Amino acid sequence: MAVKIRLQRHGKKNFAFFDIVVADTRAPRNGRFIEQIGSYNPNTNPATIVLKGDRALAWLNVGAEPTLVCRRILSYEGVLLRKHLNGGIAKGALTQEQADAKWNAWKAERDAKIEAKKSGLAKAAIDAKKAAKAEETKVKEARAEAIAKKAQELAAKQAEAVAEEAAEEAAEAVTEEAPAEA
């Protein structure tokens, strides 16, 4: 019986998440499986991967073939590196201590990359909020300036209207006084 490590789709349209399962190659995609060894959620940033590494390694050692996406996930989680290091131990090229040291160094480097990405995303979100607030402040100031300008123009027009009315009243008073004197 040929066995594959593959993804089993769940979730709704355009928002899928996957279980990582070990299944017979003849079984349908979402059908029977032998063992569930993890889950994969590509909807988060970075993608959330929960994997039982020891079980995945055990299935790889007995001949299970991962699909392309599962191979990438296993590589990302270090299961394929662990299998490679175990092969080196079996051949006598490495000792268990050397293999563990290489594994721990790789794991620390990977965790640092993931942490840097998370902090970079958080910093980018904060910067985007600051930029949006600055843009909003500029728009607010421009609106306040426009309102103040309109208010000044309105005050100037009212002052002109009052001055014109005063001039007209003065002219009427002069015309009324002039015929009375004559």
Q: Which amino acid is it at 147?
A: I
Q: Give 136-178 pLDDT, tens digit per residue.
A: 999 999 999 999 999 898 888 888 888 888 888 888 877 777 6
Q: What is the SS3 assignment for 73?
A: helix
Q: Are 56 and 38 in contact (CB under 8 A)?
A: yes
Determine how β-strand 65-66 pairs with β-strand 3-12.
Answer: parallel
Q: Are 3 and 22 in contact (CB under 8 A)?
A: yes
Return the percent helix, strand and coil in the chain, to nearest 5: 65, 20, 15
What are the structural domain ranges in the chain?
Answer: 3-91, 95-174
Q: Classify 3-91 by CATH class.
A: alpha beta
Q: Give 50-109 pLDDT, tens digit per residue.
A: 999 899 999 999 999 999 999 999 999 999 999 999 999 899 888 889 999 999 999 999
Query: pLDDT class for 181, splitting at 50, 70, 90?
Result: low
18 token code pair = 């996957």
